[in-house]
Amino acid sequence: MSTETITIIDAKSKEPIEATLHRHLTPQALIDVEAAWGPARVAAAKKQLQLRTRLPEHWHWDWSSKQDRLRLLAYRCFGIECRGAMQGLMMVNVAGYSAVLPPDVGKPLVYIEFIESAPWNISALVDKPRFSGIGSRLVRSAILFSKEEGFHGRIGLHSLEQSEQFYSETCGMTKLHLDPRKESLRYLELTRKQADVFLGGGRLR
């Protein structure tokens, strides 16, 4: 199944709202999304700079530049669509990364290469975000995909500094080392037990 119905949160009403999770986006889809996100991202960033507000570390990302990776079997991109627009994207890699935490040291995991909410959903860019819960739903999708791949929910990623608290506290991931091979970003990992806790609702917000 390439799509499924999920819920995200309407930031104004605080009520859940139906959205569509796309589990296998095409390279063209990333080009189309960036055509919508890019101008909105730049406009919001300019406004925040005028206010002398610190920008999100990923504000300069360009998803169209990442689309070539989807031609490789190891990569997949997930997206959350609601009210006619893509509200969040996540690219994962299922090859080349292994768990460092027991009890599954050395076993494969789903590695999250990139994850981002649409610029109009990021509180550091806009005064009134449209939707929330995007990041949590995408992480949940990565965990479920890990289970489908036989990896028991194991996931890993290197986090931008501004996002470390979200991954460690909201998602329940374990904070590990700063990795000099990845621009000294911190590596975080979710074990099979932590994955089950997250899926059980203990960490999902």
Tens of pLDDT, residue by residue over 104-124, are 999 999 999 999 999 999 888
Q: Which domains does the chain have, with CATH numbers?
A: 3-199 (3.40.630.30)
Could you read off the pLDDT of 137-177 as tens digits, one per residue?
999 999 999 999 999 999 999 999 999 999 999 999 999 99
Contact 135, 166 (CB under 8 A): yes
pTM of the model: 0.93
Residue written as token pair 């610190």: 54
77 three-state secondary structure? strand
Q: What is the DSSP letter of 121?
A: G
| Calpha distance 70→55 (Å, rounded) | 28
Backbone φ and ψ for 98, nearest 5 degrees, come out as -130, 155
Dihedral angle sign, alpha carbons of residues 153, 188, 133, 66: negative
- Helix 134-148 vs helix 192-199: crossing angle, to nearest 10: 130
Give the tens place of pLDDT for each residue, 39-85: 998 888 788 777 666 766 777 789 999 999 999 999 999 999 999 99
What distance in Å separates the CA atoms of residue 29 and residue 21, rounded to the nearest whole number? 13
Q: Say yes or no to pLDDT of 100 above 80.
A: yes
